[in-house]
Structure 1
Amino acid sequence: MGTDNVVFLEVIEWFDPSGREVAHRIPERGSGEFKIGAQVIVRESQAAVFYSGGVACDALGPGRHTLITKNVPLLTKALALPWGFTSPFRAEVYFVNLKVFPNLRWGTRDPVAFRDREFGLIRLRAHGICDVRVTQPVLFVNTLVGTEASYTVDALEAYLGEVIVSRLNDHLGEHLDSVLDLPTRYEELADGLRERLARDLAGYGLELGRLYINAITPPDDVQQAIDDRSRLGAVGNRLDALVKLKAAEALERAADGGGGAAEGAIGLGLG
Structure 2
Amino acid sequence: MVFFKNQFANVVEWEEFRDDMIFWKWNNREIKKGSRLIIQPGQDAIFINNGKIEGIFQEEGDYNIESQIIPFLSTLKGFKFGFNSGMRVEVLFVNTKEFTVKWGTKNAINIPSPQLPGGIPVRANGTFNFKVNDYIALIDKIAGVKNSYLVEDVKIRITSILDQLLMKWISKEGKDMFNLQANAFEIAQGIKTDLDMQIIDSGMTITGFNIISFNYPKEIQDMITKTASHGMIGDLQRYQQVSMTDGIASGKVKGGGTAADMAGMMMGMGMAGQMMKNMNQMQDQSGGQQAPNEGNQAQNAPDQAGQASSGEGKIPNFCPNCGEKTSGGNFCSNCGQKLV
State whether TM-score is above 0.5.
yes
1:96 Cα offset (Å): 0.9
**Are residues 17 and 202 of structure 1, via their aligned partners in 2, closer, same or farther at CA, if it must alter by over 3 Å?**
closer
Residue 13 of structure 2 corresponds to 13
Residue 54 of structure 2 corresponds to 58
In the TM superposition, 1:20-99 aligns within 5 A as 20-27=20-27, 31-35=28-32, 38-53=35-50, 55-63=51-59, 64=63, 66=65, 70-73=71-74, 87-99=85-97
**Are residues 58 and 243 of structure 1, via their aligned partners in 2, closer, same or farther at CA, if it must alter by over 3 Å?**
farther
Unaligned runs of 5+ in 2: 268-340
Cα distance per residue 1:234-267 (max 9 Å; x no partner): 221x2233344445556677749x86xx96xx79
Structure 2 Cα separation of the partners of residues 155 and 75 of structure 1: 34
1:184 Cα offset (Å): 2.5
Q: Is the 8 A contact 1:130 1:212 kept in 2?
A: yes
Structure 2 Cα separation of the partners of residues 23 and 143 of structure 1: 13
Q: Is the 8 A contact 2:48 2:55 kept in 1?
A: no
Bigger share in helix = 2
What is the CA RMSD across the aligned residues, in angstroms? 3.7
Residue 126 of structure 1 corresponds to 124
Q: Is the 8 A contact 1:44 1:62 kept in 2?
A: no
Larger radius of gyration: 2
1:89 Cα offset (Å): 4.1
Cα distance per residue 1:205-256 (max 9 Å; x no partner): 11222221101112222212211111111221x2233344445556677749
Structure 2 Cα separation of the partners of residues 193 and 117 of structure 1: 24
Q: Which of 57-66 and 67-76 deviates more?
A: 67-76
SS in 2 for 1:114: strand
SS in 1 for 2:178: helix
Residue 82 of structure 1 corresponds to none
**Is residue 214 of structure 1 aligned with residue 212 of structure 2?**
yes
Structure 1 Cα separation of the partners of residues 56 and 200 of structure 2: 21
In the TM superposition, 1:149-228 aligns within 5 A as 149-174=147-172, 177-228=175-226
SS in 2 for 1:167: helix
Q: Which of 91-100 and 239-248 deviates more?
A: 239-248
Q: In structure 2, give the amino acid aligned to 1:116.
A: S
**Are residues 43 and 209 of structure 1, via their aligned partners in 2, closer, same or farther at CA, if it must alter by over 3 Å?**
same
Q: In structure 1, give the amino acid aligned to 2:37.
A: V
SS in 2 for 1:73: coil
**Are residues 95 and 193 of structure 1, via their aligned partners in 2, closer, same or farther at CA, if it must alter by over 3 Å?**
same
Q: Is the 8 A contact 2:8 2:32 kept in 1?
A: yes
TM-score (normalizing by structure 2): 0.60
Q: In structure 1, give the amino acid aligned to 2:44.
A: A
Structure 2 Cα separation of the partners of residues 101 and 35 of structure 1: 35
Unaligned runs of 5+ in 1: 80-85
Residue 321 of structure 2 corresponds to none
Cα distance per residue 1:39-62 (max 9 Å; x no partner): 433344322234455x24335122
Q: Is the 8 A contact 1:49 1:138 kept in 2?
A: no
Cα distance per residue 1:148-195 (max 9 Å; x no partner): 443233333333333444422222223553323424312222222222
Structure 1 Cα separation of the partners of residues 201 and 183 of structure 2: 28
SS in 2 for 1:177: coil
Structure 1 Cα separation of the partners of residues 143 and 173 of structure 2: 34
**Are residues 254 and 172 of structure 1, via their aligned partners in 2, closer, same or farther at CA, if it must alter by over 3 Å?**
same
**Are residues 234 and 149 of structure 1, via their aligned partners in 2, closer, same or farther at CA, if it must alter by over 3 Å?**
same
Q: Is the 8 A contact 2:129 2:206 kept in 1?
A: yes
Q: In structure 1, give the amino acid aligned to 2:73.
A: V
Structure 1 Cα separation of the partners of residues 8 and 143 of structure 2: 25
Q: In structure 1, give the amino acid aligned to 2:110.
A: A
TM-score (normalizing by structure 1): 0.73
1:129 Cα offset (Å): 1.1
The structure, 1 or 2, with the larger RCO (C-alpha pairs under 8 Å, 6+ apart) is 1
Q: Is the 8 A contact 1:124 1:216 kept in 2?
A: yes
Q: Is the 8 A contact 1:119 1:222 kept in 2?
A: no
Q: Which of 225-234 and 160-169 deviates more?
A: 160-169
Structure 1 Cα separation of the partners of residues 21 and 236 of structure 2: 59
Q: In structure 2, give the amino acid aligned to 1:156.
A: V
SS in 1 for 2:171: helix
Residue 237 of structure 2 corresponds to 240
SS in 2 for 1:127: strand
Q: Which of 119-128 and 35-44 deviates more?
A: 35-44
